[in-house]
Amino acid sequence: MSPVAPVTNAPPANGTDDAQADADPPISLDIDVVHEDGDWAAVAGADALVREAAAALAAELAPIEGEVCVALSSDAQVAELNGSYRGKPAPTNVLSFPAVPMLPVDGEPRFLGDIVLALETMRREAAELKLPVEHHMQHLAVHGILHLLGYDHETGEEAQVMESLEIRILARLGIPDPYAAAGELVENS
């Protein structure tokens, strides 16, 4: 298990830019990346890619605070989870499991939930869409975290809001609009 890595925009330690520090809303999104199953060494810097995606999301939605666990897994594991929790015993690209709301604990970030990424599905979709696997992985991470924050795409209006956010967040990472690729495959979480 990787240690939790906070994504934050805390003011500079030297205190030289107090006006800027006061203007920036607080961002604290702790991301714990765990390698559950699959050969994720095939995706160079997978942990860093997830954290970069989370940082871009946090910057776009500031102020935001919370903790998320991202499990890097395989199609087999995701198919099992998908069958158990959604009645769909097949792999999918990303699953989101929002945490049960709990009373806040002083000094502790609120646990938002877990997301699980399926390596083989993610890589296959990236190839089909002719996208760098790193871009597709970051899109799936953003998509999953947005679900944990209550965003959805069940209706056309919800989908428009969520997709617009995804496009803006991914633009912060230099990733072009993923919905410009025909038949975008982020639909199952």
78-101 residue pLDDT tens: 999 999 999 999 999 999 999 987
Domain ranges for the chain: 25-177
Task: Identify the CATH number of the domain defined by range 25-177.
Answer: 3.40.390.30
Provide the CB-side half-sphere exposure for 175 (13 A, CA). Answer: 24
Phi and psi of 31, rounded to 5°? Answer: -120, 125
Contact status, residue 116 vs residue 86, Cβ threshold 8 Å: no
pLDDT tens string 23-56: 555 567 899 999 999 999 999 999 999 999 999 9
Query: What is the value of pTM for the model shown?
Result: 0.81
Q: In the predicted model, is pLDDT for residue 139 greater than 90?
A: yes
How many other C-beta atoms are found inside a 10 Å radius of the C-beta of residue 38? 22
Q: What is the mean pLDDT of residues 9-25?
A: 41
Query: What is the β-pairing status of strands 27-35 and 94-98?
Result: unpaired
Binding-site members are 143, 147, 153
Q: Average per-residue pLDDT in the chain?
A: 83
Binding-site members for Zn(2+) are 143, 147, 153
